[in-house]
Chains A and B, each alone.
Chain A
Amino acid sequence: ILNVEQSPQSLHVQEGDSTNFTCSFPSSNFYALHWYRWETAKSPEALFVMTLNGDEKKKGRISATLNTKEGYSYLYIKGSQPEDSATYLCAFWNRDDKIIFGKGTRLHILP
């Protein structure tokens, strides 16, 4: 059974602080890992698509790393702002066209 775990499930961070969270996925048959940002009452929006071991991607204050050999990816947010409050989803793709989403990490930024 393919499993994608995200931790923590929920996180409260003071505005201005930096934070990170994890996505764990099967290390075999890896094809790609996606990160999405999902605000309440909206649709998921793509942040990153990562395919190579050691990949590092950055978009503004948000960055992500990928380790396909051990099966994890980290998402980092530097200097959290209120608009960062959202659920962050990762999605694992394998070479058999399996797409599995994690349950997400719900991030709350405290003013």
Chain B
Amino acid sequence: DTAVSQTPKYLVTQMGNDKSIKCEQNLGHDTMYWYKQDSKKFLKIMFSYNNKELIINETVPNRFSPKSPDKAHLNLHINSLELGDSAVYFCASSPFRDFYEQYFGPGTRLTVT
């Protein structure tokens, strides 16, 4: 009965590869987010979608592309992976846009070698 799930949990890959991380929520929420937890443990917003529409797009390299096939899913595709992309990526969802509390997924630890 996982509310927000992410796959895979761990991802080890080489520089230059393309990879995707999937996120699904079964809470019926309208809004989903991707965060990156950097090496200093900071959580930084990357993207947010509301009902499949992109509403937040922070300064993130073009190699990162979110895709929302429906409002229950928000996937993150990363092209030409670099060492600096190594981090934990968290997906989250909230009932609606704006100031509602967010429900976080378990995180995906990406290691680029």
- CB contact list, A17-56 vs B, under 8 A: 31-32, 34, 42-46, 48-49, 51
How many residues of A sit at the interface, in one of the four size bands? Answer: 20 to 34
Residue of B whose beta carbon sits closest to that of A95: B98
Can you pick out 27 interface pairs between chain A and chain B where the beta carbons lie within 8 Å of each other?
Answer: A31-B99, A32-B99, A34-B102, A42-B106, A43-B4, A43-B90, A43-B105, A43-B106, A44-B43, A44-B90, A44-B104, A46-B101, A46-B103, A48-B101, A49-B100, A91-B43, A93-B98, A97-B48, A97-B56, A99-B45, A99-B48, A101-B42, A101-B44, A103-B40, A103-B41, A103-B42, A104-B41
B97 nearest CB across to chain A (Å)? 9
Q: How far, in whole Å, are A104 and B102 apart by their CA atoms in the complex?
A: 17
Residues of B close to A49: CB separation below 8 A:
99-101
- CB contact list, B44-87 vs A, under 8 A: 44-45, 48, 55-56
Q: How far, in whole Å, are A100 and B58 apart by their CA atoms in the complex?
A: 11
A29 nearest CB across to chain B (Å)? 13
Q: How far, in whole Å, are A91 and B42 apart by their CA atoms in the complex?
A: 11
Residue of A whose beta carbon sits closest to that of B41: A103
In the complex, per-residue mask of A87-111: 1 if CB is within 8 Å of any chain B CB, else 0: 0010101000101110110000000
